Chain A
Amino acid sequence: MRTKIDAFVRASTTLLLEVGQLEKRPSWSLVKNIAVELLQVADSVIVELTSEQGLLFILASSPSGSTRDSRLKLCFQRALLNLPTPGMLTLLSQFSTAELKDNLLPFVYESGNRGAITGYIAARLKVFVAPDVFQYFLSARTWTKTDLMNLTFLARPEDVGTICSQLDTAAANFESPAVRETFAEFRYILFNHTSGEPLLPDILPEAAPVKQSLPKQKVPLTMPANPSAKQTVPSFSPAITSPAELSKNPPAPLMTTKGKPLPVTVRSLIVPVIVVLVLLIVSMIFSTWYYSEPNYRPETVKSSSKAPQFWVDAVSQRPVTAKFLSADKDYRMGELYLTRDMHAEALKLFEDAISIDNGHTQAVFKSGYCRMQLGDKKGAIEIFKKILNQDPGYETVNLYMARIAIAANETKVAEKHFQAEYALKNDLNVGMEYANFLAKQGNQNAAMELIAALQERFPDKMLVLSQNSDAEKNEKEGPND
């Protein structure tokens, strides 16, 4: 048996891949033969097959009749849990409209995926129903907008007016406002929807398919012989038999007895929204507290008249000790003497500052400058080298070393220091001094290139190479800073 089922699966798979009319496909006869052989166990075979294979099995093995109907219903039980494939729709179109009405349409009454997918398939296959059936459809369960739009495809265009007037009349018999709302919405969609194609329904994840026993009686889905006669139309819900009884025993309203359930998306957002709101409120309270003026605390620094070990400079964030401040005092005095070109007195003060705090780099630098001005080039170079070792980026040191090197006729050393200074500080004055040095050394091209680069950066200035000996002039100048 298993081998026959497997053979059927293989043959049906091949058949589905073939093109052309079903009965004219090459594998059709093989599929038919195997299906006939499996007739005795048809029900169990259909359960094992996929939707398309199941439909093929029914088409191949069962002639029209009650047996085929029951097998079709069995196949739909499983097939209507998922959206139909194009192949499945093609196979369903092989069944007659009556078969589809009798076996497919009853699933429209089911809420959930089955009902929605049934409506979609019926709409795709254009299974038209009688106008008076819609009131039973609409009152039987909750309908999403997509389902209602698909349901409109089951109405013949010429029946639209009749359907609307029947729904108008039927609405008065229902006490439930939800049902009336559904009727109104369906009427609106029937009149106004412009979608040319049925819409794919919103499929919700379901734990288990809804088990609903199929009705024994069939709802007449075709036009009645005497439309004006009132008919007692049995429905799948045993409590509902006629419109009069419908009004007495309204079906389960669109709202559940426990209240309207929130949509899934809203429910899933509630917790994150609450968490975010709580965090926002906490942040607001925290920030309000944090930025509030601090309470007055009388036990402040009034009593502490002792100077701390060090302070943190508010500008440079470097530690400042009392020793540094004392050295800085001498340094400032030395600067005063420098303004009067009193280099010897200034040097003494700078050296005093260094003796108090040898980390006072400015005092060290100025002591080197003073030595340079006083003619002690060697001493100046030693001091400048010490500074560069500690801080290679100290400005102006290289410039002074270049000048000392020029005075000592060490042109290569001078050029090296000029380059270093110019790289540190793309200063106009440094650049001009360097260019003049290059010109004096006979390197006119490099000098002109440098002038051109400086001119580009300082277009408002007229830059020309000096004719005089600027090296001697610069030695006598004061500090550039």
Chain B
Amino acid sequence: MTKRALSLTEIMIAISIAVMVMVPVTSMFSTSGQQVQKSRNFSFAAGLARRISQHLLIMAFDDIVEVPLPGQIICDAPDNDFFSPMINFASDQSGIKRIKKADLPVLYDFLDLNGFRYSLSVSNVSFGAGDEIKSVAIMITWKEAGKDLIYRTHVYVSSV
């Protein structure tokens, strides 16, 4: 039986078929990777907003003030009611961790890379003496794939 090698045409056809198959597969990798990133950032933003809303309900009514856009960065931020200090691993002050490069490097890097910020839009409504309500719009902004994204939620905090 004679040995038969592959001709250039066959190789070209094989390569083009391989490319036609690999291009959608590669874009599927890319698309699913983007989706993973998107859902991760969205969940994180929702978590940040939830943390803020919980703090709003327990902090002093008069301490709820506006944080105007573009918002306050979360990492390396001065001490505030929401994110600084972030967490305390010990039973005393020694375990306090702030979102700084030295304390929480992974979280710091993630927040810094995506540019997470929080902003509060506060509206005071008074229905009478002692009957005040603050309408607080919590806005978390970040950067993703070159776009500025925003996550909004609202909380009504009563003075009562």
Residues in B with CB closer than 8 Å to A328 are: 137
Residues in B with CB closer than 8 Å to A330 are: 123
Do A307 and B69 touch across chains, with their CB atoms under 8 A apart? yes
A265-323 with Cβ < 8 A to chain B: 271-272, 275, 279, 283, 286-287, 290-291, 294, 296-298, 300-302, 304-308, 310-315, 320, 322
Residues in A with CB closer than 8 Å to B89 are: none
The 8 Å CB contact of A302, one of B29, B112, B148, is B112
Residues in B with CB closer than 8 Å to A223 are: none
A332 CB–B CB distance under 8 Å: yes
A260 CB–B CB distance under 8 Å: no
Evaluate whether A302 and B70 lie within 8 angstroms (CB atoms) in the complex, with A272-B14, A283-B25 already known: no
Do A332 and B2 touch across chains, with their CB atoms under 8 A apart? no
Do B69 and A329 touch across chains, with their CB atoms under 8 A apart? no
Q: Report the separation of the CA atoms of residues A306 and B71 in the bound assembly, to the nearest whole angstrom.
A: 9
B45 CB–A CB distance under 8 Å: yes
Do B123 and A320 touch across chains, with their CB atoms under 8 A apart? no
B134-160 with Cβ < 8 A to chain A: 135, 137, 139, 141, 143, 147-152, 154, 156
Q: Report the separation of the CA atoms of residues A308 and B117 in the bound assembly, to the nearest whole angstrom.
A: 13
The 8 Å CB contact of B33, one of A207, A283, A291, A302, is A291
Do A312 and B123 touch across chains, with their CB atoms under 8 A apart? no
Do B143 and A301 touch across chains, with their CB atoms under 8 A apart? yes
The 8 Å CB contact of B150, one of A296, A302, A313, A333, is A313
Do A311 and B150 touch across chains, with their CB atoms under 8 A apart? yes
The 8 Å CB contact of A301, one of B45, B115, B137, B156, is B115
- Binary contact readout A246-258 vs B (1 if CB under 8 angstroms, 0 otherwise): 0000000000000
Do A286 and B29 touch across chains, with their CB atoms under 8 A apart? yes
Residues in B with CB closer than 8 Å to A112 are: 1
Residues in A with CB closer than 8 Å to B70 are: 304-308
**Size category of the binding interface on chain B:** 35 or more
Do A300 and B115 touch across chains, with their CB atoms under 8 A apart? yes
Residues in A with CB closer than 8 Å to B148 are: 308, 310-312
Do A300 and B112 touch across chains, with their CB atoms under 8 A apart? yes
Min CB distance, B156 to chain A, in Å?
7
Max chain B C-beta neighbours (<10 A), residue from A300, A301, A307: A301
Residues in A with CB closer than 8 Å to B133 are: 336
- Binary contact readout B12-53 vs A (1 if CB under 8 angstroms, 0 otherwise): 001000100010011001100100100001100100000000
Min CB distance, B139 to chain A, in Å?
7
Do A329 and B150 touch across chains, with their CB atoms under 8 A apart? no
Evaluate whether A279 and B150 lie within 8 angstroms (CB atoms) in the complex, with A290-B33, A291-B33, A300-B113 already known: no
B121 CB–A CB distance under 8 Å: yes
Secondary structure of the A side of the interface? mixed
A2 CB–B CB distance under 8 Å: no
Min CB distance, A401 to chain B, in Å?
28
A340 CB–B CB distance under 8 Å: yes
Q: Report the separation of the CA atoms of residues A112 and B2 in the bound assembly, to the nearest whole angstrom.
A: 12
Evaluate whether A271 and B112 lie within 8 angstroms (CB atoms) in the complex, with A302-B73, A313-B150, A320-B150 already known: no
Residues in B with CB closer than 8 Å to A315 are: 151-152
A456 CB–B CB distance under 8 Å: no
Residues in B with CB closer than 8 Å to A300 are: 112-113, 115
Do A333 and B135 touch across chains, with their CB atoms under 8 A apart? yes
Q: Report the separation of the CA atoms of residues A204 and B4 in the bound assembly, to the nearest whole angstrom.
A: 14
Q: Report the separation of the CA atoms of residues A320 and B2 in the bound assembly, to the nearest whole angstrom.
A: 71
B6 CB–A CB distance under 8 Å: yes
Do A290 and B113 touch across chains, with their CB atoms under 8 A apart? no
Residues in A with CB closer than 8 Å to B151 are: 313-315
The 8 Å CB contact of A279, one of B22, B73, B154, is B22
The chain A residue with its CB closest to the CB of B14 is A275
Q: Report the separation of the CA atoms of residues A206 and B141 in the bound assembly, to the nearest whole angstrom.
A: 72
B125 CB–A CB distance under 8 Å: yes
Min CB distance, B146 to chain A, in Å?
11
Q: Report the separation of the CA atoms of residues A214 and B36 in the bound assembly, to the nearest whole angstrom.
A: 75
The chain B residue with its CB closest to the CB of A320 is B150
Residues in B with CB closer than 8 Å to A89 are: none
- Binary contact readout A332-359 vs B (1 if CB under 8 angstroms, 0 otherwise): 1101110010000000000000000000
Residues in B with CB closer than 8 Å to A320 are: 150, 152
Residues in A with CB closer than 8 Å to B76 are: 302
A408 CB–B CB distance under 8 Å: no
Min CB distance, B101 to chain A, in Å?
9
Q: Report the separation of the CA atoms of residues A304 and B71 in the bound assembly, to the nearest whole angstrom.
A: 11
The chain A residue with its CB closest to the CB of B45 is A314
- Binary contact readout B61-92 vs A (1 if CB under 8 angstroms, 0 otherwise): 00000000110010010000000000000000
B109 CB–A CB distance under 8 Å: yes
Do A329 and B121 touch across chains, with their CB atoms under 8 A apart? yes
A239 CB–B CB distance under 8 Å: no
Q: Report the separation of the CA atoms of residues A481 and B33 in the bound assembly, to the nearest whole angstrom.
A: 37
Chain A interface residues (CB < 8 Å from chain B): 112, 204-207, 264, 271-272, 275, 279, 283, 286-287, 290-291, 294, 296-298, 300-302, 304-308, 310-315, 320, 322, 325, 328-330, 332-333, 335-337, 340
* The 9 nearest A-B residue pairs measured at CB: A301-B115, A311-B150, A307-B70, A308-B148, A332-B135, A314-B151, A311-B148, A307-B69, A336-B125
